[in-house]
Amino acid sequence: MIEFQMPSLGADMEAGTLIEWRKKPGDAVKRGDIIAEVETQKGLIEIEVFDEGIIGELLIKEGTKVPVGTVMALINPTETTLETRKETISEKPTVKIQPTEEKIVEKATAEKFEERHIKVSPLAKRIATENNIDLSQIQGTGEDGSITKDDVEKAISQKAKIEKKEEKSLPKNLAIRSAIAAAMSKSNTDIPHYYLEKRIDITKALAWLREANSKRPIQKRLLPAALLIKAVAKSLIDFPELNAIWDNEVQIKKEINIGFVVSLRGGGVIIPAIHKASEKSIDEIMEALNDMIPRARAMKLRSSDLSDSTITITSLGEGGADVVFGVIYPPQVAIIGFGGSSQQPFAENGMLGIRTVFTVTLAGDHRATDGLIGSDFLVTLNKQLQNPEAL
C-alpha cells in the first residue's frame, strides 16, 4: 500500500481542506493524475498523485481540513509500478521522456475504470440527481457498498457545509494576502538577509532573443523571462549553496526548481515552480511558463506547480522600478530580483555606448551563505547572459 498524503504546497501551508475527490476506490491512477482538489490559502489546487496503482481506500471525507502529511488515501501499487520504479531508480536520466503512444493507452484504461457501474439504490440515485450530487464521489454504506439515501443525504449536507464555508471564508485575494503576510513576516523575523546588486548589460542577450524569435512562429516565441530563468538555473549549478533550504542547517537541494513570482490581477502573488530548470532547454522553460502563468492567474494550479521550489526569481519586467530587493521565501535561502531594463550610457573597454541594462539583485540568507558566494553567483550570471547562444 502506498500512502497518499496531504502535500505541502509551500512552507507556509499547514493544512488544506479536501474539497473533492477526483478518483474513487478501484480507479487506476498514474503519476501526474489529478486525485483531488484541495482548498488552500493559495486557492483551489488540483493535487496530483506520484504513484501508479489502483486507489484502495479514500480515508478523508470531502470537506475535511487536515494537516499537511495526513494520509488521505491508500493506493495499491500495480506490479508495473514496482517494475517502473526499479527502472526509474536504475536508469533515472533515460526514463524522463515517455513515448506519447504509451500515455494514450494508459489514459484509455483509466477511463474504462471510471465507467464502472456505481451501485446505488434507486431512491438514492433520484435524490442525488435532484440535488446535483456526483455519485462517483460517495462511498456507499449499504449492502455490497451500495449508496443509500442516507449516504446521499450526508453528501448533500456536506456540500451545503462546504458552500457555506466558502461563503464565509475570506475572499480569495484576502486569503492570499494573509498567506503572503505570514510567509514574509516569518522571513523578515527569522532570516538575516544580505543584499547584493549588479548592473548587467543585456543588449546581447536581447539581440540573440530577437534573432531567435524572428525564425519562430508567434506561438513559439521566447520571452526574456525564459532566458533569464535558464541563465539563473545554469549559474546555480556552480552555487549549490544558494539552491537550498534552511532547516536549522543548510540542506542543499539536488534539483533546481525555480519559483517564479506571478502577480495576480486581484493583488497578491503566487509562486509556481519550474521543476528541474537546469535540465530544461529554454524552449521547455518557455513552455512551462506558457502553461503555468495563465493557470496561476486563474488560480488553477496543481500541487506540483506549487511544491518543492528551491529558489525564487522575482522580475519586475520592463518599464518598472529599476531595482528590486526580494524578501526570501522561507525556507529557501536566496531570492533573485530582476529590475526593469532600460537603455543607459554604459562604459566598456574604455568606450561609452548606449546599452540595454538592468539591475540584478540577490538577497541571501546570511545563516546559509556569505556575501562572497552571492557576489560570485551574480558574476557568473552576468557571464551566462553575455553568451546567450550557449544557454
Partner 1 sequence: MKNNAAKINSTYREALKQGLREALQNDERVFLMGEDVGRYGGAFAVSKDLLQEFGEERIMDVPLSESGFVGAGIGAALAGMKPIVEVMTVNFSLLAMDQIVNNAATLLHMSGGQLNVPIVIRMGCGIGKQLAAQHSHSWEPFYAHIPGLIVLSVGTHEDARGMLLTALKSPDPVLIFEYTSMLNSEREIAADAGAVDISKAKVLKEGKDISIITYGTGVYKCLEAAAELATIGIDTEVLDLRVLRPLDEETFLASVAKTHRVLIVEDAWRSVSISSEISSRIMEKAFYELDAPVQRLCGVEVPIPYPLHLEDAAIPQKNDIVNAVKKMMSHD
Nine-digit cell at 342? 532600460
* Residue from 31, 65, 149, 154 binding partner 1 (CB under 8 A): 149
* Residue from 25, 56, 77, 142 binding partner 1 (CB under 8 A): 142
DSSP conformational letter for 120: B
Which residues are bridge partners to 342 per DSSP?
357
Closest by CA to 16, choosing from 36, 32, 37, 39, is 39
Shorter beta-carbon distance to partner 1: residue 135 or 288: 135
CB of 152 to partner 1, least distance (A): 9
- If one asks whether residue 167 binds partner 1 (CB under 8 A), the answer comes out as no
Which residues are bridge partners to 19 per DSSP?
none
CB of 258 to partner 1, least distance (A): 52
Residue 20, CA atoms < 13 Å, CB-side half-sphere: 12
Please check whether residue 246 is in contact with residue 333, taking contact to mean a CB–CB distance below 8 angstroms: yes
Compose the 102-131 pattern: x for residues touching partner 1 by CB under 8 A, - for all others. -------------------xxxxxx-----
Task: Please tell me the distance from the alpha carbon of residue 318 to that of residue 330, in angstroms, as a whole number.
Answer: 27
Please check whether residue 84 is in contact with residue 62, taking contact to mean a CB–CB distance below 8 angstroms: no
CB of 121 to partner 1, least distance (A): 4
- If one asks whether residue 135 binds partner 1 (CB under 8 A), the answer comes out as no
Please check whether residue 58 is in contact with residue 26, taking contact to mean a CB–CB distance below 8 angstroms: no
Please check whether residue 326 is in contact with residue 317, taking contact to mean a CB–CB distance below 8 angstroms: no
Shorter beta-carbon distance to partner 1: residue 32 or 145: 145
Shorter beta-carbon distance to partner 1: residue 84 or 158: 158
CB of 138 to partner 1, least distance (A): 14
Kind of pairing, strands 311-315 and 258-260?
A: parallel
Shorter beta-carbon distance to partner 1: residue 98 or 141: 141
Task: Please tell me the distance from the alpha carbon of residue 61 to that of residue 72, in angstroms, as a whole number.
Answer: 9
With H, G, I as helix, E, B as strand and everything else as coil, classify residue 332: strand
- If one asks whether residue 345 binds partner 1 (CB under 8 A), the answer comes out as no
Shorter beta-carbon distance to partner 1: residue 122 or 350: 122
Shorter beta-carbon distance to partner 1: residue 11 or 138: 138
Please check whether residue 243 is in contact with residue 256, taking contact to mean a CB–CB distance below 8 angstroms: yes
- If one asks whether residue 235 binds partner 1 (CB under 8 A), the answer comes out as no
Q: Specify the stretch interacting with partner 1 by CB under 8 A; choose among 52-60, 74-82, 84-92, 142-150.
A: 142-150
Q: Specify the stretch interacting with partner 1 by CB under 8 A; choose among 53-61, 108-116, 147-155, 292-300.
A: 147-155
- If one asks whether residue 148 binds partner 1 (CB under 8 A), the answer comes out as yes
* Residue from 57, 111, 134, 150 binding partner 1 (CB under 8 A): 150
How many residues bind partner 1 (CB under 8 A)? The answer is 13
**Concatenated DSSP letters for 142-153?**
SGGG-B-HHHHH
Task: Please tell me the distance from the alpha carbon of residue 75 to that of residue 73, in angstroms, as a whole number.
Answer: 7
Residues that bind partner 1 (CB under 8 A): 121-126, 141-143, 146, 148-150
